[in-house]
Amino acid sequence: MKETFELRSDTFTLPSEGMRKAMYRAEVGDDVYHEDPTVNRLEEIAAHLAGKKHALFVSSGSMGNLIGLFANCGRGNEVICASGAHIIHHEIGSIATIAQVVPIEIDAPRGILTPSLLEGKVKPRGVYDMSATTMVEVENTIGGYPYTVAGLKAIRSFCDEHQLKIHMDGARLFNAALAEHVSAREFTALADDVTFCLSKGLGAPAGSILASDDDEFAFQAKRVRKMLGGGMRQIGFLAAAGIYALENNMERLADDHANAHAIAVALAQKPWAAINLDDVRTNIIMFDAVGLSNDSLCAQLNEAGILCLTDGGKVRLVTNLNLHNDEVPKVIRIIDTLNPKSN
């Protein structure tokens, strides 16, 4: 049977034996009544890691983002975000249909916003026939590329000047922190609220965290979570997986980054792949096919055993904890022997 390597996304990771045991042993209660001790512990750990006063366990990053937009941006108001933002393209229009927020897209190199790009895009409050701009959304990482702390500080200054809140979609927050050699807190301190996923590089089967400092926002976030059907009951089993992920899978993200770089270097040597190695900063590799369509190359990589996707018009590979270090040479061997057929 042909060996295959799962590089479509870090969402395909499977719980380890240790994580499964933690889930089995989890003490549970009714989380809607704040009586699940394992959920409470997860939220305490997550709040500490994010340097925030409050943390809320939600079913997904999409739910966390939606709650942040719903509670902090305001219906009928505008949020400014990069044109490739996940909240626009991968959350089934919930930003508009449920949060009723108007997304204003900005074409930003690598998806990274700057004050110069934001300048002139803020609509004032109090104009009766216009939506007001109330929030800027940053995604960290976006397409695997991280913000710098200095860049986010500049955005924070701009937002303070214009009385705007910042929502950070930090689905891969800890990958960004690792790439920039900073603590996650240095990023989250610059946002009013932040989400981060337990179910991507950290390897939990489900769940994300929404963190903030504001008491009223935290109260409203719980209400909106319930409104969206996210008030689950004995979910300590899932929270236990999240705790295990935070306590055991953080440091090993460095392996994913190293493996992504090694695969990217192999791709850069192929005439059929156009890749900028400077863009491969974390665990996501984005590149273009040369001489054939990206969809065709993706299909041929899948057939050869490297499972991948196209995303945003590019071929995407994502290293993860289920791709072991000793398997990377096998992936590179497939790349070295592949001779893609043109369209």
User: What residue ranges define each of the domains in the chain, with the CATH number in brackets?
Assistant: 17-248 (3.40.640.10), 252-337 (3.90.1150.10)
Task: Tell whether omega for the bond before 195 is within 30 degrees of 0, i.e. cis.
Answer: no
Rounded Cα gap, residues 59 and 42, in angstroms: 13
Rounded to 5 degrees, φ, ψ at 269 are -90, 0
DSSP letters spanning 49-83 = HHT-SEEEEES-HHHHHHHHHHHHT-TT-EEEEET
pLDDT band with cut points at 50, 70 and 90 for residue 173: very high
Residue 100 in tokens: 């009723």
Q: At CA 66, angle to CA 103 and CA 316, rounded to 5?
A: 75
Q: For residue 128, what pLDDT is reported?
A: 72
**By C-alpha distance, which of 29, 333, 64 is closest to 224?**
64
- The count of residues in the chain is 343
Query: Residue 341, exposed/middle/buried by CB under 10 A (0-12, 13-18, 19+)?
Result: exposed
pLDDT band with cut points at 50, 70 and 90 for residue 343: low
Rounded to 5 degrees, φ, ψ at 38 are -75, -40
Residue 175 in tokens: 């990958």
- pLDDT mean across residues, the chain: 96
% of the chain beyond a pLDDT of 90: 93
Residue 38 in tokens: 């394992």
Residue 221 has pLDDT above 70, yes or no: yes
Q: Which residue has the tokens 């705790």?
A: 243
Rounded Cα gap, residues 101 and 97, in angstroms: 8
pLDDT digits (tens, 9 = 90+) for 306-322: 999 999 889 999 999 99
Element containing residue 156 per DSSP (H, E): helix 149-161
Q: Are 196 and 47 in contact (CB under 8 A)?
A: no
Q: For residue 312, what pLDDT is reported?
A: 85
Range list of β-strands (E), the chain: 5-6, 54-58, 78-82, 102-106, 133-139, 165-169, 193-197, 208-212, 273-274, 284-289, 306-307, 309-311, 314-318
Rounded Cα gap, residues 138 and 166, in angstroms: 7
Q: Which residues pair with 288 in a beta bridge?
A: 274
Rg (alpha carbons) of the chain, rounded to whole number: 20
Rounded Cα gap, residues 182 and 80, in angstroms: 26
Rounded to 5 degrees, φ, ψ at 81 are -150, 165
Residue 50 has pLDDT above 90, yes or no: yes
Residue 124 has pLDDT above 90, yes or no: no
pLDDT average, residue stretch 49-61: 98
